[in-house]
Amino acid sequence: IKTNNIEKYMEMTTLSEFLSIMNIKIHNEYQEHALKRLYKHGYIALGDFTLPNGKKADVFAYNESEIVIFDVKVSKEDLLSDQNWKKQLPYCHSFYFLVTPELRNAAEKIAIKNKCGLYVEEEKSMKLIITDTANKEIEHADKLRLAANRKLSQKHIYGY
């Protein structure tokens, strides 16, 4: 395309960059919705939490008895190609995908196959579609809670 029509190439490049920026914006909005929902339901929640294996959870939340992780997916390519979410499973009792309405069908198949939960974003709220049924036991839950508390303290003290 670039060699045949430079104007068309530039239009496609600009559109691609715009869509990427839009996906990041949507991802951040969904992440914020999940954090607020979990907080309202009695969880301590934080975003972009690095797990002991180095993988980053979009949303990590806990209460007295449960650790929950949400993985936000806003593009079909990311949902179908990314397998890093599986490396987050050992660090939570419940794992949920949070997806756009357009990704619901594809995400349902993945969630059912892997016994994960699924929420779909609907008009600035989240609708539970599938409940996580894996009932996982996790090791070192107290260490994870302590690490999350330290991260929250760091944000409060240093601002990052």
Q: What is the CATH number of domain 6-158?
A: 3.40.1350
For 2-59, write each residue's pLDDT tens digit. Answer: 455 666 555 555 545 545 888 889 999 999 999 999 999 999 999 999 999 999 999 9
Separation CA 50–CA 75 (nearest Å): 22
Q: Give the pLDDT score at 6.
A: 61
Domain borders along the chain are: 6-158
CB 91 within 8 A of CB 67: yes
Separation CA 41–CA 43 (nearest Å): 6
Q: The whole model's pTM is what?
A: 0.84
User: CA 148 → CA 17, 20, 42, 43, distances in Å?
Assistant: 33, 29, 15, 12
Please, which contacts does 35-38 make with residues 24 or more away whose CB atoms are closer than 8 Å?
Answer: 35/59, 35/61, 37/126, 38/68, 38/70
Q: Give the pLDDT score at 137.
A: 85
Residue 131 has pLDDT above 90, yes or no: yes
Worst-scoring range by mean pLDDT, 49-53, 110-114, 136-140, 142-146?
136-140
Q: How many CA atoms within 13 Å lie on the side-chain side of 70?
A: 31
CB 51 within 8 A of CB 95: no
Backbone angles phi, psi at 48, to 5 degrees: 50, 50
